[in-house]
Chains A and B, each alone.
Chain A
Amino acid sequence: MTKIKTHVLCCGGTGCKASASDQIIDEFQNILKEKGLQDEVQVIRTGCFGFCEKGPIVKMLPDNTFYTQVKPTDVRKIVEEHIIKGRKVTDLLYLDPENKQHVSDSKHMGFYKKQLRIALRNCGFINPENIDECISRGGYEGLGKVLSEMTPQQVIDEITKSGLRGRGGAGFPTGVKWGLCAKNKADQKYVVCNADEGDPGAFMDRSIMEGDPHSIIEAMAICGYSIGATKGLVYIRAEYPLAIHRLQVAISQAREYGLLGKDILGSGFDFDIELRYGAGAFVCGEETALIHSMEGKRGEPTFKPPFPAVSGYLEKPTNVNNVETFANVPIIITKGADWFNKIGSEKSKGTKVFALAGQINNVGLIEVPMGTTLREIIYEIGGGIKGGRQFKAVQTGGPSGGCLTTKHLDTAIDYDSLMAAGSMMGSGGMVVMDETSCMVAIAKFYLEFTCEESCGKCSPCRIGNKRMLEILDKITKGNGTMEDLQELRNLAGVIKDTALCGLGQTSPNPVLSTLDNFWDEYVEHVVDKKCRAGVCKQLMHYEINPEKCIGCGACARVCPQEAISGEKKMAHHIDNMKCIKCGACHEKCKFGAIEIK
């Protein structure tokens, strides 16, 4: 028997799949066969590695070589050089933006150095469609442990002790939530997994389901055992076909192994899981709206109480947790609450997955211990701001969160510190902005999203957000007044104070936090009619700096309006009457001569 000497892990997450990772895997298999190496090298389609910026990722084991941005055409070289001759393909290695050195081992990459992967422990490591790989990593042992060694109350106590809080955003203690549901007697209870990830840019839940679906199944069964539920439902948005597929595969494998269904592991405990597809409404991430949607009703929240723990799905006691929350559960059970609650900050235990995006070098999915500072995330893991520009703000928590500034860079982030800073954890979106971002436009962008996604049930959210958006639109077009700013603040306050659900109550956060942290920019828009970032088209124009212009004429050639004129080798000039501010010239000029004024 030939021994397998090399494992090729190839990311099969949605992002890398979109960049042809399927073809890469096919290509590996073909070429390995051609070389007669199919029995020595195992190619594994894994979940997401997180470093999506550099996808598709191919990781070679055991030597941990981390190839980035691999194309199907690179595969032959990897096989011939790396696998056959043991020589690394340097071109495909990650290039450290700081010292311009190639880094071969992911452990030495800034992106991974500070990370601690708990929820993502199996993502990018196992083949999510193979339950055996999951089991050999200790999968379902948490479930086995609770069923054979623990009472439901002990499970709840363990989770409570671990300090795990809801990763969907609000940070409610998970153990307490389970306890509330366990307390209510009913002929049927439900465990619901909220996989309706709706924050723009957030994709941790998708990645977990794609990369480690069994952890969710196991956690739901553990939860079911502790609260006395025999039915689990995963509410997942239909836009996640791969996650749906992986979950379906995982559920059927778990059933086949008797890890779902009747009499699990001989304990007498029954539990099974069904999938429910959502249409991807942001508000359906709110648990009461989610439940209504599952019942076939209009996805809109209702007033709590009654809480789902009392009256949820089909009016039965229901426990709803987010995907990432569940992903933490099995390992808490196997490693113990004491292991978990040593990680993180005082009131927020464990790790949090963030979707790092924006004007930052390393975009991707990261998992860090609670209490990591924004600076560490942005500069060490994120590799700093793109193009060496200045950091301006970081938006956390998606449309419900706020924009934090340089003064918050050393905040150790957890639920409470983010809330205190005027933002929130949310589901873990983190968008980094530099000086090219206009904060008024950013506030407007997020509000547009909330307006679109509001269910329209309560007046403050339905009409108030629309009115705020209209005022912001007025400001970005240069028609704002100081009274508008006052009205904006009042409206934001009232909406926060009166909206029915979490979506509405937090929707003014992007506006309020930018008003607080970037007041000057608002005033500039209103009083000076200026947008310093040059984003608000009505408030800027382009000018050619004659000192820098060499008269190459490149700008004039790309101008669709023929608004640029000038003699060859002489400084050019933009006719602002003709200019439509498309920015083509600005992008084209190699000399930085076209300036935003």
Chain B
Amino acid sequence: MAKVKSLAELKAMREKLQSNLDLREKSNDPDSMVQVKVAMATCGIAAGAKQVMEHMMEKADEMKLKIVFTQTGCMGYCHAEPTIEVKVPGKDPVVFGHVDNKKADEILSKYVLNNELVEGIIPVNYETIS
């Protein structure tokens, strides 16, 4: 390990290292951030939820979006797996069904970024799962 030679170097190093701790930093105050919950029960996994989640995490990083991704249990919409719940601060959570990579990109770029509606919302009297 080369020595850190200045404050600027130290700060640059922090920038670089920070992503490792992002997940923890984000969890300090999740309510101020966009939260995405991916239903990851057997049905969800079978439908490809895991792959979609990973794709979405990468995409969010690319887009420099601060999003807290969590896995949750079955939301009860097995017919529409993979399902994800998106909660934008100050708004009610919204559940999307049949989310594939393409849909995921759309959710991020339209709903999260620009607050545009995206097809595939499951409209329900809905209470979030904890």
- Direct interface between A and B, CB < 8 A: yes
- A148 close to chain B: CB less than 8 A: yes
Complex CA distance for A475 and B40, rounded to whole angstroms? 67
* The stretch of A60-68, A375-383, A502-510 that contacts the partner chain: A60-68
* The stretch of A81-89, A191-199, A298-306, A518-526 that contacts the partner chain: A81-89
Taking CB as reference atom, which chain B residue is nearest A136?
B17
Shortest Cβ gap from A486 to chain B (Å) = 57
Mark each residue of chain A from 88 to 108: 1 if its CB lies under 8 Å from any CB of chain B, else 0. Answer: 100000000000000010000
- A2 close to chain B: CB less than 8 A: yes
Report which of B9, B21, B54, B58 forms a contact with A126, defined as CB distance below 8 A: B21
Taking CB as reference atom, which chain B residue is nearest A255?
B3
Across chains A and B, the number of contacting residue pairs, with CB separation under 8 Å, is: 104
A64→B21 contact, CB < 8 A: no
Complex CA distance for A3 and B55, rounded to whole angstroms? 9
Shortest Cβ gap from B32 to chain A (Å) = 13
Residues of B with C-beta under 8 A to A258: 3-5
- A584 close to chain B: CB less than 8 A: no
Complex CA distance for A145 and B10, rounded to whole angstroms? 11
Known: A7-B24, A133-B20. A148 touches B7 (CB 8 A): yes
How many interface residues does B have (CB within 8 Å)? Answer: 37
Residues of B with C-beta under 8 A to A257: 1, 3-4
A144→B7 contact, CB < 8 A: yes
Taking CB as reference atom, which chain A residue is nearest B53?
A5
A85→B73 contact, CB < 8 A: yes
- The number of chain A residues touching the other chain, given as a range, is 35 or more
Complex CA distance for A147 and B7, rounded to whole angstroms? 8
Complex CA distance for A265 and B18, rounded to whole angstroms? 20
Consensus secondary structure, chain B interface:
helix
Shortest Cβ gap from A104 to chain B (Å) = 6
B20→A86 contact, CB < 8 A: no
> Which residues of B73-126 are within 8 A (CB) of A?
73-74
A135→B17 contact, CB < 8 A: yes
Complex CA distance for A61 and B23, rounded to whole angstroms? 7
B24→A125 contact, CB < 8 A: yes
- A266 close to chain B: CB less than 8 A: yes
Residues of B with C-beta under 8 A to A63: 27, 30, 70
Mark each residue of chain B from 1 to 34: 1 if its CB lies under 8 Å from any CB of chain A, else 0. Answer: 1011111011101100110110110110010000
Known: A5-B53, A86-B40, A265-B10. A62 touches B4 (CB 8 A): no
- B65 close to chain A: CB less than 8 A: no
Shortest Cβ gap from A64 to chain B (Å) = 5
B10→A141 contact, CB < 8 A: yes
- A294 close to chain B: CB less than 8 A: no
Residues of A with C-beta under 8 A to B71: 5-6, 83, 86
> Which residues of B19-77 are within 8 A (CB) of A?
20-21, 23-24, 26-27, 30, 38-42, 53-54, 57-58, 68-74
Residues of B with C-beta under 8 A to A9: 24
> Which residues of A6-64 are within 8 A (CB) of B?
6-7, 9, 61-64
- A140 close to chain B: CB less than 8 A: yes
Shortest Cβ gap from A144 to chain B (Å) = 3
Mark each residue of chain A from 131 to 154: 1 if its CB lies under 8 Å from any CB of chain B, else 0. Answer: 011011110110011011100000
B27→A64 contact, CB < 8 A: yes
Known: A3-B54, A64-B27, A85-B40. A136 touches B14 (CB 8 A): yes
Complex CA distance for A233 and B74, rounded to whole angstroms? 55
A141→B14 contact, CB < 8 A: yes
Taking CB as reference atom, which chain B residue is nearest A81?
B73
Residues of A with C-beta under 8 A to B13: 135
Mark each residue of chain A from 216 to 227: 1 if its CB lies under 8 Å from any CB of chain B, else 0. Answer: 000000000000
A64→B7 contact, CB < 8 A: no
Task: Point out which of A63, A137, A144, A259 has the most chain B C-beta atoms below 10 A from its C-beta.
Answer: A63
Residues of B with C-beta under 8 A to A7: 23-24, 27
Complex CA distance for A86 and B6, rounded to whole angstroms? 44
Residues of B with C-beta under 8 A to A64: 27, 30
Known: A136-B17, A136-B21. A3 touches B57 (CB 8 A): yes
- A187 close to chain B: CB less than 8 A: no
Task: Point out which of B5, B42, B53 has the most chain A C-beta atoms below 10 A from its C-beta.
Answer: B5
B6→A148 contact, CB < 8 A: yes
Complex CA distance for A240 and B74, rounded to whole angstroms? 46
B20→A136 contact, CB < 8 A: yes
Shortest Cβ gap from B82 to chain A (Å) = 12
Mark each residue of chain A from 420 to 441: 1 if its CB lies under 8 Å from any CB of chain B, else 0. Answer: 0000000000000000000000
- A256 close to chain B: CB less than 8 A: yes
Residues of A with C-beta under 8 A to B20: 132-133, 136
Chosen A-B contacts, 24 in total, with CB atoms closer than 8 Å, are A2-B54, A4-B23, A5-B57, A7-B23, A7-B27, A62-B23, A62-B24, A62-B68, A62-B70, A84-B40, A86-B73, A87-B72, A87-B73, A133-B21, A135-B13, A136-B18, A136-B20, A136-B21, A141-B10, A141-B11, A144-B10, A147-B7, A256-B3, A258-B5
Given A85-B42, A133-B20, A266-B6: 13 more A-B contacts, CB < 8 Å: A7-B24, A7-B27, A62-B70, A63-B30, A125-B24, A126-B21, A132-B20, A133-B21, A135-B13, A144-B6, A145-B7, A257-B3, A266-B5
Residues of chain B at the chain A interface (Cβ within 8 Å): 1, 3-7, 9-11, 13-14, 17-18, 20-21, 23-24, 26-27, 30, 38-42, 53-54, 57-58, 68-74, 130
Q: List the 8 shortest-distance A-B pairs measured between CB atoms, nearest first.
A: A258-B3, A144-B7, A136-B17, A62-B27, A86-B71, A87-B73, A86-B72, A61-B27
